Structure 1
């Protein structure tokens, strides 16, 4: 399987300027390609990555006003058309919506790095047209001639280089008697069948609540300043507004890092139990997000990211990963005797079985049932 690592870059001011130029050129090429793709399609022709790329090189790049395109690696624009082609393939497979134009404010600041130019030596990595950039990492970076999909990106504070490489399965001895069921929730992140206590909801911690409180205050300040500096129907962005918006972005970055770190720690804790299989529900997260009362809480729990991490960590460690059918009655079935309680309501947080007298937390009962999924299905 392909394993990815993330390396913190420490560029100079000149190198950082080239990186931002690469981000802008990648965005420009993607938007130009999307516009040209739509034009050709409306004219009745069948566009492709090769035709878009060829026209860009023969028309745009040869114009003198676009000479700034040569300041960065040619692979930056070439890969932008590759990303556009992948976006359309996903659209035609109905895996995503129609591709959108990338915004300078909202789109992720990233660009492709030529893989055969990457060389690590003396705590420096060579990037084409940028030069040797200092870096620091705790990973042991393999010295390869080819890395998979290397990208540089800026998270609002630091620059990172992410790259993938082929890695064999991690050989560990699994407990053949341990099957784990995981029931995800909103009040708690998850209930694990073999653990007595639930995995806590990190959004209820002191630090996250403090950051959310700070975030609300800053957003109100920005809103008031926009209203104070309003000129007719136009909003004037002052230096104070720019400073506040930068602080807001850093708080969002901090919250994202806290949530991702919590999910990584939780999934690592489960994998280190060395079960021979892990069973989870097949949640319709997109449908769950339509509930306006719970959508924010569901988004903050990062349930999709939890499932994604469990999948690849189970695959890497040779653990069987199963997603139970979405109609499987894990909550309504008694984990002791197997009786079904059809009148169980969402407000009933404790499962009480009439047949065997079992009293257990509703979510823990569901997790235990998921651990036995193959036996009862």
Structure 2
């Protein structure tokens, strides 16, 4: 299977300038291709294939106005157009939302590097039109898939897919059900619980610090306002950078917790893992819970469980979205239709009393038996 490896780059100032040029060019090419697709669909209702768009861009580059495109690798613009066309195809098939224009301020800074031209020599990698860049650790010299260079607001990273063989693992005869939620990240049918990292003092302190800085920056914008225009001073830029770094830190804390939790679950070696299908889009419509749901990163949790199950040869089962795992008694099988979200203890007519989340996890572990 192909697993991603991410290593930190340590570019010089000149190399970093070239990396930012590549990021800007990739974003421009994506937006240019999107505008062409929208114009074509509006006028004729047709989809333009990426090969035609790339030929048009090659002709465009030969003009004086767009000669700056030669300053970066040709593969960056080619792949950006290809990515947009792939996203547009998914939109037409109903698999994704309509692609949007990439903002300079909000979009993730990243670009593609041709996998054939990516060379490794010890703790250095060769990036097209950038040169040999120092990396924090050695990368195995293998065939690379989809190399991408990105910036997380503080550091530059190189992400590559590397093919690895699956380890041989002896699995137990346990079927493990996992119930995810807001109170706790996950509750397993064997009784183990994974805490909600957003309730810890470390995360709460970071969020409090962000709120304080955001109020501070808002006051500074009001003070430096000139008519209808907001002036961005050097102090405002400093505070914005602090906020960006705090958001980055909180994201890393949450991702680290997800990786640790999913690895601990998978390393119990059950022969299968059952999770309920999660309608994140529908859940986010609840204005009271949307913020808490977004912070839990439930989709990322499911995705990590899935690829780790594939790695260790564990069967991953996704239960039906309407399967009444919480409302069904895990002892007698009776269904309780009047169960509310506030009822944290499940009380059945048969006298069985159990924590609501563990009850749901046990029912999920028996999903195939009752369905």
TM-score, normalisation: structure 1: 0.95
The question of whether the paired residues in 1 share the 8 Å contact of 2:87 and 2:99 is answered with: yes
**Of the candidates 149, 161, 166, which is equivalent to residue 164 of structure 1?**
161
Aligned partner of residue 65 in structure 1, secondary structure:
helix
Deviation at 1:119, TM superposition (A): 1.7
Deviation, structure 1 residue 29: 1.0
Aligned to 2:144: 147
Deviations 1:38-92 (A, max 9, x none): 2233332542211111111112x11123222111111011101111111111111
Note if contact 1:37-1:52 (Cα within 8 Å) is conserved in structure 2: no
Aligned length: 370
Provide the rounded CA distance (Å) in 2 between the counterparts of 1:98 and 1:340: 40
Deviation digits for residues 270-325 of structure 1 (CA, Å, limit 9, x no counterpart): 01000000000111110000000000000000011101111111011110000111
| 1:117 partner SS | coil
SS of the aligned residue for 1:275 comes to coil
- Structure 2: distance between partners of 1:342 and 1:32: 53
> Is this contact kept in 2: 1:30–1:84, CA < 8 A?
yes
Q: Does 1:186 align with 2:188?
A: no
Measured against aligned partners, the alpha-carbon deviations of 1:214-269 in whole angstroms (never above 9, x if no partner) come to 00000001111111111222111111111111111111101100000000000000
- Larger mean CA deviation between 65-74 and 364-373 belongs to 65-74
| Structure 2 residue 363 is matched with structure 1 residue 363 | no
Matched residues in 2 for 1:231 and 1:338: separation?
68
| Superposition misfits of 4+ residues, deviation over 6 angstroms | none
Q: CA RMSD in A?
A: 1.3
Change in 2 beyond 3 A, CA 1:265/1:46: closer
Task: Return the offset for 1:109.
Answer: 0.2
Matched with 2:127 is 127
Residue aligned with 1:107, SS: coil
Aligned residue for 2:126, secondary structure, equals: strand
Distance 1:281 1:222 in 2: 42
Q: Deviation of residue 32 (structure 1)? A: 1.3
For residues 216 and 189 of structure 1, the distance between their equivalents in structure 2, rounded to whole angstroms, comes to: 24
Quote the Cα distance in structure 1 between the aligned partners of 2:32 and 2:340.
53
Specify the SS of the correspondent of 2:65: helix
Given candidates 223, 226, 232, the residue that maps to 2:221 is: 226
Q: 2-side partners of 1:324 and 1:43: how far apart?
A: 44
- Counterparts of 2:127 and 2:95, CA distance in 1: 33
Q: Aligned to 2:203, which of 208, 212, 224?
A: 208
Seen in structure 2, the aligned counterparts of structure 1 residues 339 and 46 have a Cα distance that, compared at 3 Å, is closer
> Does residue 273 of structure 2 align to residue 272 of structure 1?
no
Preserved contact between residue 183 and residue 367 of structure 1 (Cα < 8 Å):
yes
Residue aligned with 1:237, SS: coil
Write the distance in 1 (CA, Å) between the matches of 2:99 and 2:195. 37
In the alignment, is the contact (CA less than 8 A) between 1:186 and 1:201 conserved in 2? yes
Pair 1:166–1:236, CA change in 2 (3 A): same
Secondary structure of the residue aligned to 1:115 is coil
Query: Shift of the alpha carbon at 1:346?
Result: 1.4
Aligned partners of 2:123 and 2:139 also within 8 Å? no
Contact 2:210 2:243 in 1 (8 A): yes
In the aligned structure 1, how far is the partner of 2:307 from the partner of 2:122? 32
- Paired with 2:297 and 2:27, the residues of 1 have a C-alpha distance of 27
Q: How does 1:300-319 map to 2 (within 5 A)?
A: 300-319=295-314
**Cα distance in structure 2, aligned partners of 1:70 and 1:337:** 71
Q: Which residue does 1:15 correspond to in 2?
A: 15
| Paired position in structure 2 for 1:350 | 345
User: Who is 1:376 aligned against?
Assistant: 370
Q: Distance in 2 between matches of 1:365 and 1:292?
A: 27
Q: Are 1:340 and 2:328 an aligned pair?
A: no
Give how far 1:368 is off: 0.9
